[in-house]
Chain A
Amino acid sequence: MLSLLRTIWYVFLHAFQKRVTVQYPEEKPYLAPRYRGRIILSRDPDGGERCVACNLCAIACPVDCIALQATEDENGRRYPEFFRINFSRCIFCGFCEEACPTYAIQLTPDFEMGDFDRQNLVYEKEDLLIDGPGKYPDYNFWRVAGVKIGGKDKGEADHETPPVDIHSLLP
């Protein structure tokens, strides 16, 4: 009986305690820099698209919300012809970001993308591409990759030595 009264008293004392609710639209919560929110596609420091349309993100995606079509430009650089993320299916797991070999696809601390029309939640490449390099400001995939593209021959990438001439006998 006494414990019941004590319980009631302790619950009553909660009237004078701080409330834990965050009044969301007025009071924004702190989102960590690595918060997994809206997905973006980033660019190289020189402004080119980072995405090489390797499809790894689409394969990693557990809900199959990413669709893309690979193509090549005149320099031999692979890029996605279209890149589509259906955010009404996306669960923001971040697997696509982990799978991406070129840091192109990244998740951002933004979740305010609600809409009344499901169709508006299908983001095309224009909606996804941002102008900056995102979380990796200095990374430039085509500058460090050994692959040959127009304007950059074999052995001309950063931290790369020219290929060995197998027809020469010089050491």
Chain B
Amino acid sequence: MTSPYPILSILVIVMGALTIAASLIWLERRLLALWQDRYGPNRTGPFGLLQVVADAVKIFMKEDWVPPFVDKPVFILAPAIVFVTVLMSFAVMPVAPGLVVSDLNIGLLFFLGMSSLGVYSVVLAGWASDNKYAFIGGLRAAAQMLSYEVFMGLSLMGVVLLAGSFSLGDIVQAQSKLWFVIPQFPGFVLFLIAGFAETRRIPFDLPEAESELVAGYHSEYSGMKFGMFFVGEYMGVTLISAMIAVLFFGGWLGPILPGVVWFLLKTFLFIAFFILVRASLPRPRFDQLMSWSWKAILPLALANLLVTGAAVLLWR
């Protein structure tokens, strides 16, 4: 069920993803302010919406300085990787019936593969910066994201078992009776945790941990290269939120309103949750992060997979 107008849906999805990611700069500041009893940016334009434009202009005008000691090609490549991999993942995102760039039959695996490739950007950025803080950030990112990748995949296998397909479109269709969040609640929670780790958001922002590592892997970046990491992070948040909506909350399915609206509503709900968690939770120690991943969450994901598998086997 690929789109009848492929070029148009590519444009819509790419522009939509970029617009949402850019407007998250504003949304995050406003929501954080709301939960901290402040106003946030409300001067530029209606509700401060033009803050996005102001920030974009500022970051374009900034000097894009490449320090003399860095590994130049890798240093320049790294911010592009995070952007490209996240944007590639949107290719398999079924926004609405027919509004998808390419509904691959291995869509979910493609998404997992792309998010694994995204690790490279952080590791290479930390490595190429030739700065000990950036390097520590890069190492942390590698360890953290590889650990959480493992059960990110495993937590989704329950969904795949229930839907009987790796295609995201089929997964959404399979939820027409019951959203997968109900039979797969443990999987949903585990995927949410893995999503936080994948997007390097608070509470799992150890690779950039301002209070410990300056800015972690992007300490040496400035100007639009820094902006790429920034927007890449917001794109990642959008991607994970959209994925949660598609995999566990029935994507475009919903009464009355058109599919796109339901999809966007669900996505924004989870984006807001990402921001709410940022407003409330502190950052764990790195060894705690690793031991949770391997000692608690991975066994839980395996147990969830086992139970789901058994249930599917009995039910069929």
C-alpha spacing A19/B31, complex, angstroms: 12
Please report the C-alpha to C-alpha distance between residue A44 and residue B178 in the assembled complex, in whole angstroms. Answer: 85
Most chain A CB within a 10 A radius of its CB, from B276, B277, B280, B281:
B280
A75 within 8 A of B: no
On chain B, the residues within 8 Å of A19 by CB distance are 33-34, 37-39
Say if the beta carbon of A15 comes within 8 Å of chain B.
Answer: yes
**Chain A interface residue count: which class?**
10 to 19
Interface size class of B (residues with CB under 8 A): 10 to 19
Complex contacts, B150 vs chain A, CB 8 Å: none
Chain A contacts of B37 at CB under 8 A? Answer: 14, 17-21
A30 at the interface (CB under 8 A from B): no
Given known contacts A7-B280, A8-B281, is B38 in contact with A14 (CB within 8 Å)?
no
Residues of B within 8 A of A10 (CB): 280
Minimum Cβ distance to chain A for residue B197 (Å): 15
A8 surroundings in chain B (CB, below 8 A): 276-277, 280-281
Shortest B142–chain A CB gap in Å is 26
The answer to whether the Cβ of A161 comes within 8 Å of any Cβ in the partner chain is: no
Residues of B within 8 A of A12 (CB): 35, 276, 280
Interface residue? B36 (CB, 8 A): yes
Inter-subunit contact B34/A14 (CB<8 Å): yes
The answer, yes or no, to whether B279 is at the interface (CB within 8 Å) is: yes
Question: Mask for B65-89, Cβ within 8 A of A = 1, else 0?
Answer: 0000000000000000000000000
Q: Is residue A164 within 8 Å, beta carbon to beta carbon, of the partner chain?
A: no
Q: Which of B244-285 contact A (CB under 8 A)?
A: 276-277, 279-281
A23 contacts B by Cβ under 8 Å = yes
Interchain CB contact (< 8 A) of B36 among A7, A14, A18, A23? A14
Q: Mark A130-159, 1 if CB is under 8 A from B, else 0.
A: 000000000000000000000000000000
B217-258 CB mask vs A (1 if < 8 Å, else 0) is 000000000000000000000000000000000000000000
A21 surroundings in chain B (CB, below 8 A): 37-39
* Contact of A11 with B by CB under 8 A: yes
> Would you give the shortest CB distance from A39 to chain B, in whole angstroms?
31
A4 within 8 A of B: yes
Distance A132 CA – B34 CA, assembled complex (angstroms):
46
Complex formed: what's the CA distance from A10 to B281 in Å?
11
- Bound CA span A14–B276, Å: 11
How close is A23's CB to chain B, nearest CB, in angstroms?
7
| A112, B175: Cα distance in complex, Å | 61
Q: What separation, in Å, do the CA atoms of A70 and B35 have in the docked complex?
A: 57
- In the complex formed, the residue of B with least CB distance to A19 is B37
Encoded as 1 (CB less than 8 Å from any A CB) or 0, chain B from 279 to 309 comes to: 1110000000000000000000000000000
Q: Residues of A with Cβ closer than 8 Å to B?
A: 4, 7-8, 10-12, 14-15, 17-21, 23
7 of the cross-chain contacts (CB-CB < 8 Å) are A4-B281, A8-B280, A10-B280, A14-B34, A14-B35, A14-B37, A19-B39
**CB within 8 Å of A: which residues of B?**
33-39, 276-277, 279-281
